[in-house]
Structure 1
Amino acid sequence: MRRRELILGGLSLPLATIAGSGLLSPLTALAADSGTAFNDDSVPAMARQLAAAPFRKPPADLPQWLQDMGYDEYRDIRFNPAHALWRKQGLPFQAEFFHRGFLFKDRVQVFTVAAGRARQVDYSPDLFTFRASAVRGRAGADLGFAGMRLHGKINRPDYFDEIGAFLGASYFRAVAKGQAYGLSARGLALNTVRPEGEEFPVFRAFWIETPAPDASAVVVHALMDSPSVSGAFRFVVKAGVETVFDVQARLYPRVELSYAGIAPLTSMYEFGASDRVGVDDYRPAVHDSDGLALWTGADEQIWRPLSNPATVQDSGFQDTTPRGFGLMQRQRDFSDYADSEAHYEKRPSLWVEPVGDWGKGAVHLIEIPTGDEYHDNIVAFWRPAAPLAAGREHRFDYRLHWCNEHNWKRELATIADTMIGAAPQQGRRRVIIDFKGDALKGLGEEAGIKPDVWSGAGKVLNAVAHPVEATGGWRIGFELDPAGAQAAELHARLVQGTQPVSETWLYRWTA
């Protein structure tokens, strides 16, 4: 049980159960000998059928003692690894399941698929160990699952590590080799920070394809539902030094969706070197991600450091046919955080690579104030320029890279750190931006590299750029005089003549 599992469990909404809807009765009454026919079109067909009918809430079938249990009682319900799916067959992946209870009240149905037939994975209390005396012996015959997690050999050839988990609303997360869980992805974001309130679609069922003995990937299908939209997802999961999810998303809105977020990412940023005002903490930084990276359709590479603002900030980066975006964790040394428990230096970056032409829209970055490291306060997603129309199918294919660093324009230097503090003159802010990369190697003062810095409000003063021998990189330093402005959009990069030699640094300063 980890921090984000607790958070995400509280976000799930009561949605129609599959069996209760009456739409999936062929899959909820499986024949033990043959199963039910299943292919890549099965879940989209179910989602279309759900979207064509009014939304129905599920029955409240979770026993009260499971709803009322606390954190300690819930964490004592453990899946028994000896019963992991495919363990006895010796296949390259295994699956385990989360029990319902505490914050995780919704029933999630799970099916396996083999030879084109789907069979339900039946709940049994024998799959779990109930360590708490208040829980032991009270498990019923069909309490159901709340989610699932996948295991594979990514760190050691003799051990199945957890590589991904689906738990809470439409949230899921993953790790690559040597990493620990951090930020999450989800199926869809709806009305994020809108006055009418956010809606959280939920994965109601999963179909896991039985992997071949030599398989390098595992395939998961998911059915999503909410009052406004149904959806079908197909994930091809390949774990390793970089863990990749190939995602096919099919959305079927019941109503027009004006504020839909495609490929949404959710993370946490409390403070760092650019945002330490009022911080009294021994650690240099606390965050799961430190910046939003963008590779635009116009071939511009952008870095936007994250912040913990005083008020909710929604930044939109207009684009056409984006090449990629993601929430990244660039600081990778233990000394960057000095936290021997959380190990933020091991948290994944998550890069979204669109497949096909996504057209016009914007990458939105939403930053929400937080006073601790236990609540996610950062959201990023793609919002199409046109609303998603009701009564039709909308397709979005993309690739999720859970990684340390993402692959993009290697000929440009990247931002290694952003540091902001008081300037000598009262009211001004001193901004330091450090750059690194092969593009800067061997370049001294004679290379003619200059800072290109400007602000949309206030004044930029004393901008300089120079090499830093200790790091082998370059640094831009300048002062911002707000001149009474309450906010300023800042821009900086390194140029040689008229050509950029670094990515573009963007930052929203607020008073």
Structure 2
Amino acid sequence: MIAVSALLASVQAQAFSLDDVTARAKALMQKPYIAPVSNLPPVFSQMQFADYQKIQPRRDKFEWRDQDTPFKLAFYHQGMQFNTPVKISEIVGNNVQEIKYDPQDFDFGNLSFDSKVTSKLGYAGFRVLYPINRAGKEDEIMSVLGASYFRVIGKDQIYGLSARGLAIDTALPSGEIFPRFTEFWIKRPAPQDKQLTIYALLDSPRATGAYQFILKPGADSVVDVQARVFLRDQVNKLGIAPLTSMFLFGPNQQVNKRNYRSAIHDSNGLAIHAGNGEWLWRPLNNPQNLTVSTFQIENPKGFGLLQRGREFSRFEDLKDRYDLRPSAWIEPQGNWGKGKVELVEIPTADETNDNIVAFWTPDEQPRKGVPLKVDYRMHWTMDEPALHDKDTAWVKQTFHTAGEQTQANLIRHFDGSTALMVDFEGPALANLPGNASVGSQVSVGDNAELIDSVLQPNPVIKGYRLTMRVKIKDPQKAVEMRAALVSDGKTLSETWSYQLPPHSGAYATY
């Protein structure tokens, strides 16, 4: 019995794990950084996106096609900016073997090139397929492509915002560095497995890292992340659990060009659940100049870029279906200590650019050679209310418009002020007794004067609407505003924390 136990322990010790990747990341950190060199011939490096999309994996060549598992793997071909190969290996028991590149795995459509040029190319990334919507249908549920980017979806969702492994020096004058996943190890799932384990090695001039991702498909797909980050050189800003999204316009920042859509965005706000229990909601903007907002938070309970209010009528877009794009919620595991959630908003003229970034940055960085250990769970969901404490109301939507008053003749008069209307909803409001006294707490920064605020029930959503009118003092400067609902000294809602960017009006121009 002792011999058998020792043998089992020996076999288990040999199994590939996060510790193996961590050892590689530490060893890599101790060596000078070697920048990847493109191996693409011009026919692939100079192709347009429409041509790159023609290169599709062949379904009959999916990895694990002949295995008894609902999971399948498919690969991205190199092309355009995806110009250096990533190494992808499969873990089967205690064996690790590289999945070799084979051009026969791809359908190149009508692209014309010398087939010999593909022989030395490789994979740019991979996709995970799983029958999430109905049995027997292989739905793509995870995409890993480019730097350390990846996207995940759940049942009835389509791709929207992205996650990243790590962000370095985002929005700093020195320029951002984009760490890159250079190697992956994927554990072949057993027939009964409902999750997929992926390991990744990250490299960059400033940091290396080891990652374990456990993907659990479902109505809300969940990814459990364990990250071990080593600093190789000076990092001015370290972004943990970064999310990248797009916000072009919405009711809080309308567009003055004719557009049948009232909103175009993958996310419309940053939500934060602070360590002290406070909830914050920051509606997103598409500013005229780069804007960075910082929220000092100790031991955050969660944060994420959300798509609140996903009725189809908000978007009316049958092609891009913004109403089906998920929110991403980061749920830290353990104490993260002192730090801040940072929101970066970048001007964009169209919806093809991801112009929103949010991440956690610790106040203290690890010493060289000592890994920063960060664990968290990612929720990819369309059920945003489920993320919230039922005892706390949340912001349903924000409207930004020209301030107005109704004159004695009932004609509306626009008085040059700026108006914000905020709808609050949730069980905390719907279940209030009829005689409950509900009020609001509103504050504005030094660059604005609060002319008035009016709170009224909104029976349509069984909540309340808060209308505020402000006079901006200097249009060249931003205005910070905060508001929350209260009753008998108790806070009923999350804190609406909004910024009117410089030059902000009721409409934006692009």
TM-score, normalization by structure 2: 0.90
Deviation for aligned residue 1:426? 3.4
- Aligned partner (choices 470, 484, 491) of residue 480 of structure 1: 470
What is residue 402 of structure 2 aligned with on the other side? 422
**1:415–1:505 contact (8 Å) kept in structure 2:** yes
Give the AA of the match of 1:441: A
What is residue 112 of structure 2 aligned with on the other side? 134
What is residue 449 of structure 2 aligned with on the other side? 459
Gap regions ≥5 residues in structure 1? 1-35
**2:68–2:190 contact (8 Å) kept in structure 1:** no
- Aligned partner (choices 192, 215, 223) of residue 201 of structure 2: 223
What is residue 496 of structure 2 aligned with on the other side? 505
Deviation for aligned residue 1:189? 0.5
Q: CA RMSD in A?
A: 1.6
Structure 2 residue 277 is the aligned partner of structure 1 residue 299: yes
Query: What is the alpha-carbon distance in structure 2 between the residues aligned to residue 453 and residue 321 of structure 1?
Result: 26
State the SS of the aligned residue for 2:320: coil
Q: Deviations over 1:453-476 (max 9, x none)?
A: 111222222212111122222111
Query: What is the alpha-carbon distance in structure 1 between the residues aligned to residue 440 and residue 245 of structure 2?
Result: 31
Larger mean Cα displacement after TM superposition, 124-133 or 364-373: 124-133
Deviation for aligned residue 1:169? 0.3
Larger mean Cα displacement after TM superposition, 299-308 or 455-464: 455-464
Query: What is the alpha-carbon distance in structure 2 between the residues aligned to residue 133 and residue 397 of structure 1?
Result: 43
Query: What is the alpha-carbon distance in structure 2 between the residues aligned to residue 61 and residue 340 of structure 1?
Result: 39
Identity %: 40
What is residue 6 of structure 1 aligned with on the other side? none
The residue correspondences of 1:322-401 to structure 2 (distance < 5 A) are 322-401=300-379
What is residue 440 of structure 1 aligned with on the other side? 429
- Aligned partner (choices 103, 108, 112) of residue 90 of structure 2: 112
- Aligned partner (choices 477, 483, 486) of residue 492 of structure 1: 483
**2:393–2:425 contact (8 Å) kept in structure 1:** yes
Larger mean Cα displacement after TM superposition, 180-189 or 419-428: 419-428
Deviation for aligned residue 1:83? 1.1
State the SS of the aligned residue for 2:118: coil
**1:419–1:432 contact (8 Å) kept in structure 2:** yes
State the SS of the aligned residue for 2:18: coil
Distance 1:339 1:475, change over 3 A: same
Give the AA of the match of 1:448: S
Structure 2 residue 185 is the aligned partner of structure 1 residue 207: yes
Q: Deviations over 1:410-453 (max 9, x none)?
A: 11111111001101353311111011111112547742101111
Aligned residues: 476
**2:228–2:374 contact (8 Å) kept in structure 1:** yes
**1:256–1:387 contact (8 Å) kept in structure 2:** no
- Aligned partner (choices 258, 265, 268) of residue 243 of structure 2: 265
Give the AA of the match of 2:422: I
Shift >4 Å, 4+ stretches = 442-445
**1:256–1:389 contact (8 Å) kept in structure 2:** no
**2:285–2:345 contact (8 Å) kept in structure 1:** yes
Q: Deviations over 1:303-354 (max 9, x none)?
A: 1100111111100000110000000001211100011101100011000001
What is residue 407 of structure 1 aligned with on the other side? 387
**2:246–2:265 contact (8 Å) kept in structure 1:** yes
Query: What is the alpha-carbon distance in structure 2 between the residues aligned to residue 272 and residue 72 of structure 1?
Result: 28
Deviation for aligned residue 1:387? 3.1
Give the AA of the match of 1:148: F
Deviation for aligned residue 1:138? 4.4
Give the AA of the match of 1:320: E
Larger mean Cα displacement after TM superposition, 41-50 or 343-352: 41-50
TM-score, normalization by structure 1: 0.90
What is residue 146 of structure 1 aligned with on the other side? 124
Query: What is the alpha-carbon distance in structure 2 between the residues aligned to residue 286 and residue 189 of structure 1?
Result: 25
Gap regions ≥5 residues in structure 2? 1-13, 405-413, 504-510
Give the AA of the match of 1:363: V
State the SS of the aligned residue for 1:303: strand
**2:452–2:470 contact (8 Å) kept in structure 1:** no
Query: What is the alpha-carbon distance in structure 1 between the residues aligned to residue 461 and residue 34 of structure 2?
Result: 59
